[in-house]
Structure 1
Amino acid sequence: MSVSGAKADVRFFPFWIRIGEALCYSALMEHVWIFHGQDADFASAVFAKRADAETWINENHFSGVLTIYPVDKPIYDWAVEKEFFRPDLDHPKTGKFIQNFTSASQEHFHYENGVLD
C-alpha cells in the first residue's frame, strides 16, 4: 500500500495513520467531544469517544459541558446546513457574528461534580 509514493504502515492509531516515519491525520474522524469546564475561558480536553470523556469527567469530579463538534466544519456552517439556523437581516453573516456563533442543537451534556446533570 502506498500513499504519495511512501510505503504506508498498516498499524492504525485511533485517528492517525503511520506513513513511513510520519503520523498523518486520517479522514476517519467525523466528530470530536470537547469539554469546557465550568467558569473556564477555553476548552480543557478533546476526545474521540464520548465514553472516554465521561470517564475522565467522572473520575475527576469535573463540572462543565461536553459538546460534540464536527471535524473540518465550522459550527455556523454546520447549523445552516442542517437547517438549525437561518441567517437573516437580524443575524448578518459577518465575521464577528460567525466567530462567536454556537448552537444549542449540537449534542451536549452538562456535568456537576462528575455526574451527568
Structure 2
Amino acid sequence: MQLQSLITAVTDYYCQEVSSKLDAWLAHLNLPPTDGGLQRTAAVFVILTRWGAWEHLALLCPLWAAGDMDARNRVIDQFHELACLEPDLRIELTRLKDIAEQAKGKFAEQWARAVDAAVR
C-alpha cells in the first residue's frame, strides 16, 4: 500500500484537507493508557468512515498484542461503548422513524402513483 497524501487533521467532527478518494489510509486508533484521548463517539466515526474499503487502511500500530485475548476484548468493548448512541439521539432517531412511517401510510397512494408514472 502506498500513501499518496498526508492528512492535516482529524478531530472529533472534522477531517481537513483529505479526499475520500485516497487509495490508502494510515490511522492510529490506539486508546492512550491513561484512558484519555479518544473518548467521543464522533471521533471514532470520523476516523473510521474516511476510507472506501478496509483493504485501504493500515494501522500505525496494532490495537492489542498478538494473542492477548484480554487486551483484544478490552479494545473491542471500548469501541462498542464509543459507538453506542447517546440517549437523546436514540430518542430523536426513534421519533423520526415514527414520523417516516406515518408519512408512508399517509402518502402511500400518491407515492404509488408517482412511482407508476416514473416507470412508464
**Range into which the TM-score falls when normalised by the shorter chain:** under 0.3
Specify which structure has the higher proportion of strand: 1
TM-score (norm: length of structure 1): 0.21
User: Which protein shows a greater Rg?
Assistant: 2
Specify which structure has the higher proportion of helix: 2
TM-score (norm: length of structure 2): 0.21
